[in-house]
């Protein structure tokens, strides 16, 4: 699909991923509309949501959600209303009012829970450890039902930890790499719970955007794709590299808070062989380069 003049809706379009996606799509000539709480749009408002979907967009990127594993366990009902029910409503309205619209859902590696094996492929059991993970998994499964029963053109990405160009923001319990970058730039302490030996998979925003855009142009209906770098780095090494690149900040190790340790999934590495084979997606930016690009961009803001 050529994107010039294509009508695209982004839910959660003012957030970290959404704002970067909006910028990239506009650069490619797309006509982008944003649906976001920051602009007064509530994803839980069915009437408002349906009125937007009736505009017959060529594609919808569904990024809006209630994030954070620990926070979701304190607000279980809200997590399901925002992450699951709102997604079901989008699918329902698309089938009813705009059945040719492509739906791309941004989900999470946390649908898998604590990995049984590494790297994690799309056939790995889904055993979420938090309300957030379960609410996202339920949304994914419902979207696939709409694909099977109503031929809805939907693609789901289970992403690992995404980082990159961003405004300094208050930490909300997720987007840990960007948060660590902000702390280091302010010459503050970066706290690591436990020994930090768990390996993680960190994806630079530019690579994620390429995958998201590929999903529009490729035949990916009814598919789930892991989206990550596919190469691990220890959590403590990630933090130390940030401090080294920034030239400020300090890494300290501390005891796990109980409520956070309860939802800690341990190491995670994405098996991205499926998205490589089917969409031709290959990450281009390693972690060290991604941090350098982020710092260079943020310094200009």
In angstroms, rounded to a whole number, what is the distance separating the alpha carbons of residues 207 and 56? 28
Report the interhelical angle of 86-97 vs 131-150 (nearest 10°). Answer: 20
Predicted confidence (pLDDT) per residue in 127-181, tens digit: 999 999 999 999 999 999 999 999 999 999 999 999 999 876 666 556 899 999 9
Cβ atoms within 10 Å of 112's Cβ, excluding its own: 23
Q: For residue 220, give both structure tokens.
A: 């990916």
Please identify every stretch of the chain with a pLDDT value under 50, giving residue numbers as ranges.
none
Give the pLDDT score at 73: 87
Confidence (pTM): 0.94
Predicted confidence (pLDDT) per residue in 195-218, tens digit: 999 999 999 999 999 999 999 988
Full set of structural domains in the chain with CATH:
7-164+202-231+269-285 (3.40.50.720)
Handedness of CA 240, 246, 248, 254 (dihedral sign): negative
Give the pLDDT score at 244: 96
Cβ atoms of residues 233 and 202 within 8 Å: yes
Give the pLDDT score at 40: 95
Cis peptide before 250 (omega within 30 of 0): no
CA distances from 129 to 126, 143, 155, 177, 286 (A): 10, 21, 24, 21, 29
- For 109, residues 6+ apart whose C-beta sits below 8 A from its C-beta are 120, 158, 159, 160, 201, 226, 228, 268, 270
Angle at 122 between CA 121 and CA 128, to 5 degrees: 100
């Amino acid at each position: 699909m050529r994107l010039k003049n294509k009508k695209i809706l982004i839910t959660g379009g003012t957030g970290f991923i959404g704002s970067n996606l909006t910028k990239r799509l506009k650069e490619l000539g797309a006509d982008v509309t944003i649906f976001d709480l920051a602009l007064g749009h509530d994803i839980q408002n069915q009437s408002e949501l349906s009125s937007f979907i009736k505009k017959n967009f060529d594609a919808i990127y569904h990024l809006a959600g209630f994030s954070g594993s620990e926070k979701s366990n304190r607000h279980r009902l809200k997590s399901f209303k925002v992450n699951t029910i709102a997604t079901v409503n989008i699918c329902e309205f698309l089938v009813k009012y705009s059945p040719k619209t492509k739906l791309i859902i941004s989900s999470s590696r946390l649908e898998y829970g604590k990995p049984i094996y590494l790297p994690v492929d799309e056939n790995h059991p889904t055993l979420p450890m938090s309300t957030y993970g379960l609410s996202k998994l339920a949304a994914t499964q419902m979207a696939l039902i709409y694909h099977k029963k109503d031929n809805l053109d939907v693609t789901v990405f289970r992403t690992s930890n995404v980082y990159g160009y961003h405004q300094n923001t208050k930490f909300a319990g997720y987007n840990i790499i960007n948060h660590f970058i902000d702390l280091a730039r302010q010459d503050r302490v970066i706290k690591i719970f436990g020994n930090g030996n768990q390996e993680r998979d960190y994806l630079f925003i530019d690579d994620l955007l390429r995958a998201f855009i590929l999903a529009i142009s490729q035949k990916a209906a009814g598919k789930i794709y892991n989206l990550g770098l596919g190469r691990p780095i220890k959590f403590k090494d990630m933090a130390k590299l940030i401090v080294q690149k920034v030239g400020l900040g300090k890494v300290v190790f501390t005891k796990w808070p109980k409520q956070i340790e309860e939802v800690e999934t341990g190491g995670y590495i994405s098996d991205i062989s499926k998205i490589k084979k089917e969409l031709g997606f290959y990450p281009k930016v390693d972690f060290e380069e991604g941090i350098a690009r982020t710092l260079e961009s943020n310094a200009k803001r």
